[in-house]
């Protein structure tokens, strides 16, 4: 089985569209989203429609939670402006889909969360602690949230962050994802996408260029956005 891992889409439909085009070429059997379909950019319905069409398993991210619950992001005024737009425009069907997101997911010998295993919503995993999970019967661990693509290995164990589809923060503006092959081998991927397309959509929705200019550089919007 080939599992495609996507994460942190954040309403960036052109990026998600390019990623799915590549995933289809890779003949993946399952697509798992590590959360944060919501937040930051304006094309939330298009993103969820595409996820629904492709039977994506979505794990609840912190921005997904903010959108569903009505709570504000505690550290980003910028994120809250975008979330308010998404709350106004999201369709009832897509909101229900987002509400069905799960807190974590175990499949075969893999364990998936959005943030981390102590705090699935909002923990940042910069360096995975293999020893903490050495006896849990899992060999591949995956999380998102940091927007930084990486692989760590320790003997038979692997930790992977597929990076961000919609807002990479590692200096590479290309959309990021990963593939797990036969629940054993892990590969990282990057694809170019139409950044002008999401920038134009944001501009049409009244957002200043500071909301999207970082996409051209592979950087976050501002220091305390998450």
pLDDT, tens digit (0-9, with 9 covering 90-100), for 106-159: 998 999 999 999 999 999 999 999 988 877 889 999 999 999 999 999 999 999
> How confident is the prediction for the chain on average, in pLDDT?
95
Q: Of 25, 30, 33, nearest to 2 (Cα)?
A: 30
Give this prediction's pTM: 0.95
Helix H segments across 100-194? Answer: none
Q: Of 172, 96, 177, 186, nearest to 139 (Cα)?
A: 186
Q: Of 70, 99, 63, nearest to 225 (Cα)?
A: 63
58 domain-assigned: yes
120 domain-assigned: yes
136 domain-assigned: yes
Each residue's pLDDT tens digit, 49-69:
999 999 999 999 999 999 999
221 domain-assigned: no
Q: How many domains does the chain have?
A: 1
125 domain-assigned: yes
224 domain-assigned: no
Across the range 79-104, mean pLDDT stands at: 97
Q: pLDDT-based confidence at 11, cuts 50/70/90?
A: very high
Task: Determine whether 95 is exposed, middle or buried from the number of CB atoms within 10 Å of its CB (0-12, 13-18, 19+).
Answer: middle
Q: What Cα–Cα distance (Å) separates residue 74 from each residue in 116, 149, 223, 224?
A: 18, 25, 14, 10
222 domain-assigned: no
* Residue at token pair 């910028």: 78
226 domain-assigned: no
Q: How far apart are CA 135 and CA 38, in angstroms?
A: 34
Q: How far apart are CA 8 and CA 110, in angstroms?
A: 19
CATH of residue 204 = 3.60.21.10
Domain that includes residue 194, residue range: 2-216
């Amino acid at each position: 089985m080939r599992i495609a891992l996507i994460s942190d889409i954040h309403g960036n439909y052109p990026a998600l569209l390019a990623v799915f085009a590549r995933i289809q070429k890779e003949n993946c059997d399952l697509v798992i989203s590590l959360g944060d379909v919501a937040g930051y950019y304006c094309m939330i319905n298009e993103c969820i429609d595409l996820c629904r069409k492709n039977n994506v398993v979505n794990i609840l991210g912190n921005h997904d939670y903010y959108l569903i619950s009505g709570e504000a992001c505690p550290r980003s005024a910028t994120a809250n402006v975008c979330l308010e737009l998404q709350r106004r425009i999201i369709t009832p069907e897509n909101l229900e889909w987002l509400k069905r997101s799960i807190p974590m997911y175990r499949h075969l010998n893999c364990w998936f969360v959005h943030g981390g295993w102590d705090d699935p919503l909002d923990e940042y995993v910069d360096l995975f602690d293999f020893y903490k999970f050495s006896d849990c019967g899992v060999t591949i661990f995956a999380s998102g949230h940091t927007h930084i693509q990486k692989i760590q290995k320790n003997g038979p164990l692997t930790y992977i962050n597929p990076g961000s589809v919609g807002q990479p923060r590692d200096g590479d503006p290309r959309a990021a994802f990963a593939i797990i092959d036969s629940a054993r081998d892990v590969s990282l991927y990057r694809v170019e996408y139409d950044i002008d397309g999401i920038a134009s959509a944001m501009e049409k929705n009244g957002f200043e260029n500071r909301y999207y200019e970082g996409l051209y550089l592979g950087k976050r919007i501002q220091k305390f956005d998450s």
